[in-house]
Amino acid sequence: MRLTNLLRTTVSAAVVGAVAFGFAGVASAQDGDQDRATTVDDIIVTAQKREQNLQDVPIVVTSLSQEMLEDAGVRDIKDLQILTPGMTVTSTSSEASTTARIRGVGTVGDNPGLESSVGVVIDGVYRSRNSVGFGDLGELQRIEVLKGPQGTLFGKNTSAGVINIITEAPSFTPGFNAEATVGNYGAMAISGSVTGPISDTLAFRLYAGRRLRDGFMNIDTGDGPREDTDDNNQDFGTVRGQLLWLPNDNTSVRFIADYSSRDEYCCIGTQVRTGPTYPFIDMLSDGPGQRPPVAGFGMLPFERTAYANRSSGQEVEDKGWSVEANFDMPSFLGGSTLTSVSSWRKWSSSLGHEIDYTGADIAYREQDGDFGFTVENTTQEFRLAGSNDTLDWLVGAFVTQEDINRTDSWYFGEDYTPFLSLLLSARLNAVNPALPISPATIGCYTRPGQTAAGFGGCLATGGMAPAGPTAATGPGFTVGQGFEDVYDQGSTSFALFTNNTWHVTDAFDVTLGLRYTMDEKTLRGTQQNVNGNGTTCGLALSNAGAIGTVLGAGNAATILGNFCLPWSNMAFNNRVVNEKFEDSELSGTIKGSYRINPSVLTYLSYARGYKSFGYNLDRVQAGITPTASTLFLSEVVDSYEAGVKMTLLDRTLLLNATYFDQTFSDFQLNTFLGTAFVVESIPELTSRGIDADFLWFSPVEGLTFQGGVTWTEAEYGNFTAADLATPGNFPQLSLLPGATASFAPEWSSTLSINYDRNFGDNMRTGFSLAAKYMSDYNTGSDLIPFKQQDAFTILNGRFLVGSADERWTAEFWVQNMTDEEYIQVAYNAPLQGSAFQTTVQPNGTYYNQALDTQTYDAFLGAPRTFGATLRYRY
């Protein structure tokens, strides 16, 4: 039968994917109009860029069908974690700052100079930053989560794993889907798709969706001018069009174009521990300004009230296209298949940022186009694959060109100068109570030509002397925009790769994969102070002699550092950044698998992964001197696995288990040091443990169970300051040596129960429950104890009723059914106390909890949401 005729006459888009797109196809029997999978043999994956049964692949893969994703309410990658043990997904100051982690390993922070540890691939196209894959994914065929390094076939920056997403393909049978949702928090969503033939050789699919929701957080706007009194809302839209062209028996071409946009306000953190700086915030703010502290400055009870006087608006736009073409080669060329995947994408953001997360007007970033980033990349991949009785082979080449433009800005609020004065004068008052705590001392430090006598007298009056030699006549920090930086990073990457499986016997296979990658990156940037910013820093430094005479040289250096923080340092004025670096890496894998019998496969594997070097696109300084280079080195991982895959109970039960041992060298850690984000290469991080999962198609019609458990021991190796690129960063990282990494719960488990069957002649009913448990873990990259998240469980559920032919379905759903209270990420509130000390403490680190004065904020997890969804299919 002609390939064209087969695809024209099939009702199932799953068959279209399986026949026309062997490398981006879909699991059979997953289309809504077809019988659902009833045995393990029905589960097909493309983890090795060719269609294989899940139980034949010597890789840890969690394969999630369309039905399972729908039952669990998965609409984006953040939703996916409830079905995937060992994976966490978090967002911070915006949806542009979203990170996925697998087995306790992932990229930390929102700096676009860092590439991903967990790769996101959508319909065969690699998304270079996690955040660009966190939108509405539309109509899904399935999602595969591949754990461990996958660089041989999926490329660099997949050192921790891959999230491989396959969406619904066009069908030659006309079809129409529509969906409408309402829920609490004012949630409303509508989406729909239409598919069918344009001609005998051309089919199309068009999807569009829109989602709206009020915010989860209640906002006290303090001094204003912010008007929005909620935050973390949702206003998202997407459209996705596809064409499937089958010009002859041996050729298939799939074209995809999509556009998505967000116009939201997100995300405001709230205090989880308020420190001793609270009275100053309270003094400067209209209202309390932040959550009041508890006795002893302990942890605060969970509350969805936050403080922000400035807007957190975000506009995000994502668009692109891809073309995948498959050509069956003539038999004299071995009957191989040539695949070409071409893509272009552009992702951009314009963000507002409430920096201090208080009601006081201290610091912020305006949503005026000066804060955000753009990622534009073009990719081209060629693969040639074939097989015979003894060998499955594949060779390929991949090239990408990527351009990143990041703009950064900083605005000083009216309260910045008095707040800094209160902080500095309180520090002096703690040593000498005769010096008052005052909001007016900054001019003491910056008075031109200051003398020791004048400076001492100025501090003694709290800067309140009306005139004379002790008056605080120096300038404060200019209210308004302080700097406007621009960074342009260009990168080119080229790779050659091969992956081959030798069938040594009917039971024993050996797989060898190699990939050689060459990377080149250039960075050009301009760091520019505006509106006289830096003057305050310069004047304070010019008075260092007088200040040192009064306060002592050691104290003076520390205090003067507060005048020359990265956002106010005169050394960054008109500073030009120009760097270039190139590197290459050989990565690969070798696997041996042995099938003991038709039901049991065992395997051993070694893989080496690679995550590219990069630049920290930010202001970075050591002391008050700008860092000459913000380059950080490439990260590599060596991974060993031993696993077993079992298919039991007449092939209705899947039981898989794998031991993994991964060692990351030069692990790229992006961490906030209280005043700036820095990237340090940690010499070693190990992640060891066991992955286990199961799937059971029970004897009860329509009842299935799916779940898994991951036990992980992810620890940093021991290191000292001398092992870091910038030894001065060690005090803030001193809790890391030998400790468990952040976002690495020892235990993570999932369980889902799905029931769906017909009753009577025309009706159908069902329910689903999905739960995930995670043991306690630390949410801060510096591992401060106040950032610990206790063990918790999330439970989602839904009940459905509809027609037996699935023409219509009504669902009633609840996400986070028990309203579990948990934090996503905790962080140091800027300028609000200090966590680490300047000398080694009794525990051998620079941290002493009894001396910790830091206020800690956190971005919270979603609350309980509920609603109803009505689906119609034709």
Provide the CA 842 distance to its chain's centre, in angstroms: 36
Alpha helices in 112-259 (DSSP H): 151-154
Please spell the DSSP secondary structure of 53-100, one letter per residue.
EGGG-SS-EEEEEHHHHHHTT--SHHHHGGG-TTEEEEE-SSTTSEEE
Q: List the beta bridge partners of residue 345.
A: 320, 377
Residue pair 450/546 in contact by the 8 Å Cβ criterion: yes
Could you give the CA distance from residue 503 to residue 521 in angstroms, rounded to a whole number? 40
- Exposure b/e, 657-696, CB count within 10 A at least 16 = b: bbbbebbbbbbbbbbbbbbbbbbbbbbbbbbbbebbbbbb
Distance from C-alpha of 707 to C-alpha of 385, rounded to nearest angstrom: 34
Q: Determine whether 500 is exposed, middle or buried from the number of CB atoms within 10 Å of its CB (0-12, 13-18, 19+).
A: middle
Contact 190, 210 (CB under 8 A): yes
Render the burial of 3-31: b for 16+ CB within 10 Å, e for the rest.
bbebbbebebbbbbbbbbbbbbbbbbbbb
Number of residues written out for the chain: 874
The CA-based dihedral angle spanning residues 26, 30, 31, 34, taken in that order and rounded to the nearest 10 degrees: 130
Please give the average pLDDT of every successive group of 10 residues along the chain, which has 874 residues. 42 40 36 60 87 91 89 84 92 79 84 86 85 72 93 87 94 96 97 97 97 96 95 94 96 96 93 98 96 96 97 94 95 84 95 96 96 95 94 96 96 98 96 96 97 97 94 96 97 96 97 96 97 97 96 90 96 96 96 97 96 94 93 95 97 97 95 80 97 96 96 97 93 96 97 94 94 97 97 97 95 97 95 95 97 97 97 94
Residue with tokens 């992955």: 691
Compute the distance between CA of residue 547 and CA of residue 553 in angstroms, rounded to an integer. Answer: 8
Cα gap 248→3, rounded to integer Å: 8
* The predicted structure's pLDDT at residue 134: 61
CA dist., res. 36 & res. 67, Å (int)? 8
Instruction: Return the pLDDT at 36.
Output: 66
DSSP code for 36: P
Instruction: Give residue 716's pLDDT.
Output: 97
Tell me what pLDDT residue 409 has.
96
Q: Please tell me the predicted confidence (pLDDT) of residue 807.
A: 95
Tell me which long-range contacts 465-472 makes (C-beta under 8 A, separation of at least 24): 471/443, 471/447, 472/440, 472/441, 472/442, 472/443, 472/444, 472/447
Label each residue of 746-809 as H, E or C.
CEEEEEEEEEEEEECCCEEEEEEEEEEEECCEECCCCCCHHHEECCEEEEEEEEEEEECCCCEE
Cα distances from 171 to residues 20, 250, 327, in angstroms, run: 11, 18, 20
Closest CA to 236 of 70, 69, 95, 377: 95
What was the pLDDT predicted at 131?
64
Q: In this structure, what is the dihedral angle of CA atoms 79, 83, 86, 88, given to the nearest 10 degrees? A: 10
Helix (H) or strand (E) holding 445, with range, is: helix 442-446
**Whole-number pLDDT of residue 166:** 93
Please state the pTM of the whole predicted model: 0.93
Instruction: Quote the DSSP letter at residue 649.
Output: T
Helix 535-542 / helix 544-551 crossing angle, nearest 10 deg: 60
Long-range contacts of 61-64 (CB under 8 A, 24+ apart): 61/144, 61/145, 61/146, 61/147, 62/144, 62/145, 62/147, 62/693, 62/708, 63/27, 63/142, 63/143, 63/144, 64/142, 64/143, 64/144, 64/145
* Cα–Cα dist 94/71, whole Å: 27
Q: Is the dihedral of CA 575, 400, 96, 117 positive or negative?
A: negative
Q: Residues 34, 105: contact at Cβ < 8 Å?
A: no
Residue 76 pLDDT? 81
Helix, strand, coil share (%) of the chain residues, nearest 5: 15, 50, 35
pLDDT for position 73: 83
- Report the alpha-carbon distance of residue 312 to residue 328 in Å, rounded: 52
pLDDT at 5: 43
In the chain, the largest separation of any two C-alpha atoms, in whole Å, equals 99
Q: Which of 742, 749, 750, 747 is nearest to 824 (CA)?
A: 742
Q: What contacts 646, CB < 8 A, 6 or more positions away?
A: 599, 600, 601, 653, 654, 655, 656
Indicate the burial class of 808 (C-beta count within 10 angstroms; 0-12, 13-18, 19 or more): middle
730 sits in which H/E element? helix 730-733
